[in-house]
Amino acid sequence: MSDFPHTPPKFSWTFSPEANAEIRRAAASGIYDIRGGGSKRRLPHFDDLLFLGASISRYPLEGYREKCGTDVWLGTRFAKKPIHLDIPITIAGMSFGSLSGPAKEALGRGASAAGTSTTTGDGGMTEEERGHSKTLVYQYLPSRYGMNPDDLRRADAIELVVGQGAKPGGGGMLLGQKISDRVAMMRNLPKGIDQRSACRHPDWTGPDDMEIKIHELREITDWQIPIYVKIGGARPYYDTALSVKAGADVVVLDGMQGGTAATQDVFIEHVGQPTLACIPQAVKALQDLGMHRKVQLIVSGGIRNGADVAKALALGADAVSIGTAALIALGDNDPALEAEYRKLGTTAGAYDDWHEGRDPAGITTQDPELFNRFDPILGGRRLKNYLKVMTLEAQTIARACGKNHLHNLEPEDLCALTIEAAAMAGVPIAGTNWIPGRNGY
Amino acid sequence: MQSFDLGKDGLRALNSALHALKGQTNMTAWEVINPKGAHAIAAGVDAPVDITVRGSTGYYCAGMNKQATIRIKGSAGPGVAENMMSGAVIVDGDASQYAGATGRGGLLVIKGNASSRCGISMKGIDIVVHGNIGHMSCFMAQSGNIVVLGNAGEALGDSLYEARIFVRGTVKSLGADCIEKEMRDEHLLILEDLLRRGEADAKAKPEEFRRYGSARKLYNFNIDNASAY
């Protein structure tokens, strides 16, 4: 050993400890990493936007006296019975199978108490959810598990799922651990197998066929209920425009922070665009077609609080949808369960192995011992509280901007903290009137 | 017989009238004339009625059918009898892509040929095709039976679950995890019944068929099977 000072140990940025750990894991297991949730990257997001608030040029509304509306109509284009919600925050599609029956019941209870809708998922419609959801959106997915005309007709809207933000271009996956007798029966599959859901619909391909499929669904439901089209954040301008052309009443746009029950980590983190980048593109498509506010836009993927709601609406959305946040409100990843998360080799806040069916919170499991821990009445109350708080927060911001309805928020109420967020959202960087990409700059 | 002129009165009026029959059984025979390839003819019917469509149909004729017997006196466009729940659909001519897709029950009979993806994701439906079927038929087929008197195209039964496939003629290739299986007595009985109900018993005998099904090797992921995906 020389007496000269040594260069301190230096980790590679490229071959970081995290990257190396994943190489070792893949080499040992022979399978890619599968997990739940959405992108965990630090992405440009709503946090990078600020509201300007009222000043001399605009005056605010009194917080405890003056009304600020929150309701929203969805499906006014073709449906005889469009949906009217008290708040513009809906519950995103999550399947029975990925979630337990009591968790689905809680989503229905909470959403109904808050005056909004829930959505089925890739496992058909359960009585728990239909029975407890005043307004229920029925997803029409490539797998068609449990699909039948009676459930179509007792839904309040149909959501034709083309893509999902966590995995645009990908299908679904429900691993064998969660294929219980009931899940297997609803999906008409053998118990315990790894269940794959196709990435494309089995009986149509492309936008022209989609138009004919939407027409068939309207005929079967006698043009009564709205038909949504859900797209992942891949090419939001064209996908929104094609959905409008195909006859959608509502476009549901899911960015890459949107969650999934189980997908390859490499897919979640490397395919799709951030929610913030997707919204203006979709809004522009609607505006270019003269259909903004006529075909409603619901945005999901990383909505956590009333500020996120207000920002999404200011950028032109008619409503937002929450999935991951709703599960957290129910009790997912609660630090109170830390000891149990440790036993699973993780920690509260980072637990994402939802596909393994061992969720100590009893939400993403089909194990009766675990899901019976979960109280759907209490869960529903927590979700209702959370939805009410988000709405109050969004109203607080809207009033501060002088708006008497959340839908009156507009891009002019916003500025951005970073060049990236400014370019994506199409709003100026704070302290300037510079919008990157506009007017040749 | 109730006759309905689709060219004159339009699709909405037809389907509205047929949907109004739910729970009724007193108007048992319907005839649809001038279909001219319209889409979604008799989609969503839920009554034990007999409907005869005189001519060829577009996409999704008899989609999600329950109880009704629907005869197409012509050829059918894509997705005929998609997601059928019960009842029967009989196509006198040929059927385009995705015939019987995701069907959960009932009987689909195609007296001509069926194009690609016949029986894709089928979930309990029975399908009898008097002619040939195209490529990728029975992809991810979950349950039910398909009987093909002619030949099958490429990648038959790819990623198959528990559906049974019976082919009398040649199979151009089998898809991932689909193999030929032993024909046992129970299968001959299934075939005999389906040939009779599919109006094909005069054309073929059960012993002339070969059976294909899932090898069940892809039911749970194994990295050593990665080349099959």
Contacts of B24 (CB under 8 A, 6+ apart): B47
Give the count of alpha carbons within 13 A of A403, CB side only.
Answer: 23
| Angle formed at CA B103 by CA B102 and CA B105, multiple of 5 degrees | 150
- A133 and A115 in contact (C-beta within 8 Å)? no
Q: Which of A197, A220, A264 to mutate to test the interface with B (most CBs of B within 10 A)?
A: A220
Q: How far apart are CA A405 and CA A422, in angstroms?
A: 25
* Chain A residue closest in CA terms to B79: A203
The predicted complex's ipTM stands at 0.96
Q: Do B43 and A212 touch (CB under 8 A)?
A: no
Q: How far apart are CA A344 and CA A351, in angstroms?
A: 9
- A330 and A379 in contact (C-beta within 8 Å)? yes
Domains of chain A, each with CATH number or no CATH: 36-408 (3.20.20.70)
| Angle formed at CA A346 by CA A345 and CA A350, multiple of 5 degrees | 160
DSSP line for A405-438: BGGG--GGGEEESSHHHHHHHT-PBTTS---TTS
Backbone angles phi, psi at A170, to 5 degrees: -115, 160
Cβ count near A402 (within 10 Å): 18
CATH superfamily of B2-228: Glutamate synthase, alpha subunit, C-terminal domain (2.160.20.60)
Instruction: List CB contacts (< 8 A) between A144 and chain B.
Output: 83, 102, 121, 123
- A178 and A97 in contact (C-beta within 8 Å)? yes
The model's pTM: 0.96
One-letter amino acid of B75: S
- Which tokens sit at B126? 């029975």
Q: How far apart are the CA of B219 and the nearest CA of chain A, in angstroms? A: 5
Q: How far apart are CA A422 and CA A412, in angstroms?
A: 12
Q: What is the pLDDT along chain A (441 residues), one digit of tens a residue?
A: 578 888 899 999 999 999 999 999 999 988 889 999 999 999 999 999 999 999 898 899 998 889 999 999 999 999 999 999 999 999 999 988 889 999 999 999 999 999 999 999 988 898 888 999 999 999 999 999 999 999 999 999 999 999 999 999 998 777 777 778 888 888 888 887 887 788 999 999 999 999 999 999 999 999 999 999 999 999 999 999 999 999 999 999 999 999 999 899 999 999 999 999 999 999 999 999 999 999 999 999 999 999 999 999 999 999 999 999 999 999 999 999 999 999 999 999 999 999 888 999 999 999 999 999 999 999 999 999 999 999 999 999 999 999 999 999 999 999 999 999 999 999 999 999 999 988 877
Burial class (CB in 10 A: 0-12, 13-18, 19+), A192: middle
From the list B104, B98, B135, the residue with the least C-alpha distance to B119 is B98
Work out the angle between the directed axes of helices A376-400 and A101-114 (0-180°, nearest 10).
40
Q: Where are the domains of chain B?
A: 2-228
Q: How far apart are the CA of A151 and the nearest CA of chain B, in angstroms? A: 12
Backbone angles phi, psi at A105, to 5 degrees: -60, -45
From the list A88, A120, A90, A116, the residue with the least C-alpha distance to A104 is A120
E strand residue ranges, A281-352: 296-300, 319-322
* Chain A residue closest in CA terms to B43: A220
From the list B148, B221, B18, B65, the residue with the least C-alpha distance to A33 is B221
Q: How far apart are the CA of B62 and the nearest CA of chain A, in angstroms? A: 10
